[in-house]
């Protein structure tokens, strides 16, 4: 079992806390002058996204998490799993609904996503920051309505609903920011 | 590396404030007839302190160390010159990095022959009062013994507590227990932890506090004497601004045999902690044999003092180039 000592702690280091892989986001030395030092750590649980706070007596060891990240291409979904391929080795990975999470709202096929692997299994999928998707359904905008910032709902080809400006029509290809789920422009 | 990483992490105002602070410190010691000295930053010896890790370098393929503190060398000068001395120098420590730590930092250290611990605390307070002029800091000082400070907030006497009692105290008061700190660890580890969790947060937020008469087991290079209740305590103090430690002072141990014994004990603790044994600086021991005057000495972290004076929140903000840009 690989371990890290507290003096190896730094941002981005992957460790196991409460049985889950976590990524350190903050590491501070607490030391009341001379004497024993402690490390106060914030870490993001890579499975749940929750942030944990933990303190360690310095020189304590913590189990390392075998976490990798790689770029993969989204192939298709069979309803139970989402299939991705590493484009140089052509190796395929099946991610379950938990791992795919919100990424499912933005991917239809061929997007390059970041896949986080824990002990070789898909743990999380991060979609590209921007995707281009067609509008499957939206009501026609009212003619002559030029109010600034007015929006209406539109359903994309992935089934996800987003707010779009009134001039958008069915069949338009839209650029969407997946980090906040907002319309950016027509593609 | 970001686009602006060539630039200083301190503002121009703080860079100027540092220059002023250094000038005022030198003027203070000049007026008090304390002479400025220089000692090597690079040494053949590291420190035996089990909680400090020296940075290592090499000269002609021989390992040498960047000094973690100028203490040993300054005491050698003191034994020879028998007069008040001060130094402003860099000190280096491995593994120390964070909001209040940088692996390289600036230290002010001075020694006063004939002074006891209280006289030195008062001189440090006088220096800080001088430096607080033209700042928004009101220089007020509280003096608390280690025992008073603990009794006030925990109700227990730190000189009589055990590790398992500390553990019980933490559990029943819902205090987080760090991973790796157990009921069989040394009581000093527990006292250090409870100090950060209960005692320091009760200190005046916007003022200075002297904490003195530490447990004898935390004596480091201080003398051990009996207090009014006939309990052996270390004649050592630390100065805090709010919860931030600024300085550590000793009524200095001058007994060479006792010093050597403590170094050997510290090395035993280094072995137990899986750390490398530190060579014992024989020149320092020889200086004690020759004779160190009765004296008190203190080390002040000048970067943290500048953080206090400039009301900045992180050490990076007072360093020209903090570690990530050094």
Beta bridge mates, B92: B104
**Cα angle B319, B142, B22; round to 5:** 30
Q: Which residues of B touch A31 (CB under 8 A)?
A: 51, 96, 101, 192, 245
pLDDT tens-digit map of B154-178:
999 999 999 999 999 999 999 999 9
User: What is the C-alpha to C-alpha distance for residues B194 and B202, in angstroms, rounded to an integer?
Assistant: 12
Total beta-carbon pairs less than 8 A apart between chain A and chain B: 69
What pLDDT was estimated at residue A49?
Answer: 83
For chain B, domains (ranges, CATH) are 12-138+250-325 (3.30.930.10), 146-195 (no CATH)
Written as one string, the DSSP assignment of B69-91 is: -SHHHHHHHHHHH-S-EEEEEEE
Average pLDDT, 10 consecutive residues per value, chain A (187 residues): 90 93 92 88 90 92 93 93 94 93 92 93 93 93 67 93 92 94 91
What pLDDT was estimated at residue B198?
Answer: 96
What pLDDT was estimated at residue B274?
Answer: 86
What pLDDT was estimated at residue B273?
Answer: 85
User: What is the C-alpha to C-alpha distance for residues B317 and B160, in angstroms, rounded to an integer?
Assistant: 41
Candidates B51, B176, B248; nearest CB to A37: B51
User: What is the C-alpha to C-alpha distance for residues B320 and B323, in angstroms, rounded to an integer?
Assistant: 10
Interface confidence, given as ipTM, is 0.85
B242 neighbors B204 (Cβ within 8 angstroms): yes
What's the pTM value of the predicted model, to 2 decimals?
0.83
What pLDDT was estimated at residue A31?
Answer: 87
Does B178 sit within 8 Å of A56, measured CB to CB?
yes
> Which residue has tokens 């250094």?
B22
pLDDT tens-digit map of B18-34:
999 999 999 999 999 99
What pLDDT was estimated at residue B285?
Answer: 97
Q: How far is A20 from chain B (nearest CA, A)?
A: 16
pLDDT tens-digit map of B109-138:
999 999 999 999 999 999 999 999 989 998
Q: Which of residues 225-254 of B touch A (CB under 8 A)?
A: 238, 245, 248
| DSSP 8-state symbol, B318 | G
């Amino acid at each position: 079992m690989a371990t890290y000592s507290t003096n190896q702690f730094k941002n981005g280091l992957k460790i196991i806390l409460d049985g889950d892989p976590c990524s350190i986001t903050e590491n501070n030395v607490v030391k009341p002058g001379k004497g024993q030092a402690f490390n106060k750590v914030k870490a993001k649980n890579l499975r749940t996204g929750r942030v944990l706070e933990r303190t360690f007596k310095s020189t304590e060891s913590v189990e390392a998490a075998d976490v990798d990240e790689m770029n993969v291409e989204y192939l298709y979904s069979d309803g139970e799993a989402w299939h991705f391929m590493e484009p140089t080795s052509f190796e395929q990975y099946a991610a379950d609904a938990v791992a795919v999470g919100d990424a499912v709202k933005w991917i239809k096929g061929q997007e390059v996503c970041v896949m986080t692997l824990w002990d070789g299994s898909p743990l999380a999928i991060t979609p590209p920051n921007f995707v281009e998707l067609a509008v499957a359904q939206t009501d026609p905008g009212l003619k002559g309505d030029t109010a600034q910032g007015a929006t209406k709902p539109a359903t994309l080809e992935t089934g996800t609903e987003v707010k779009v400006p009134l001039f958008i029509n069915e069949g338009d290809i839209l650029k969407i920011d997946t980090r906040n789920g907002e319309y950016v422009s027509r593609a | 590396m970001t686009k602006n990483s060539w630039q200083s992490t301190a503002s121009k105002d703080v860079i100027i404030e540092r220059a002023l602070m250094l000038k005022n410190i030198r003027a203070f010691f000049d007026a008090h007839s304390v002479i400025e000295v220089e000692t090597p930053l690079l040494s053949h010896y590291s420190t035996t302190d089990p909680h400090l890790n020296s940075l290592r370098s090499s000269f002609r393929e021989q390992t040498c160390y960047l000094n973690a503190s100028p203490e040993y060398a300054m005491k050698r000068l003191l034994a020879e010159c028998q007069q008040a001395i001060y130094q402003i120098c860099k000190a280096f420590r491995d593994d120390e990095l964070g909001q209040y730590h940088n692996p390289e930092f600036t230290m002010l250290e001075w020694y006063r022959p004939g002074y006891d611990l209280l006289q030195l605390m008062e001189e440090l307070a006088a220096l800080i009062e001088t430096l607080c002029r033209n700042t928004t800091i009101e220089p007020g000082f509280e003096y608390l013994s280690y025992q008073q400070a603990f009794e006030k907030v925990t109700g227990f006497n730190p000189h009589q507590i055990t590790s398992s009692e500390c553990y019980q105290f933490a559990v029943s008061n819902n205090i987080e227990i760090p991973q790796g700190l157990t009921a069989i660890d040394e009581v000093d580890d527990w006292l250090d932890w409870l100090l950060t969790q209960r005692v320091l947060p009760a200190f005046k937020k916007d003022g200075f506090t002297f904490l003195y008469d530490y447990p004898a087991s935390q004596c480091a290079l201080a003398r051990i004497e009996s207090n009014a209740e006939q309990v052996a305590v270390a004649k050592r103090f630390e100065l805090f601004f709010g919860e931030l430690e600024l300085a550590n002072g000793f009524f200095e141990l001058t007994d060479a045999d006792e010093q050597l014994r403590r170094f050997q004990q510290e090395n035993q603790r280094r072995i137990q902690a899986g750390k490398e044994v530190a060579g014992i600086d024989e020149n320092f021991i020889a200086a004690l044999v020759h004779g160190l005057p009765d004296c008190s000495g203190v080390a002040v972290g000048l970067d943290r003092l500048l953080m206090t004076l400039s009301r900045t929140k992180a050490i990076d903000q007072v360093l020209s180039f903090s570690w990530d840009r050094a």
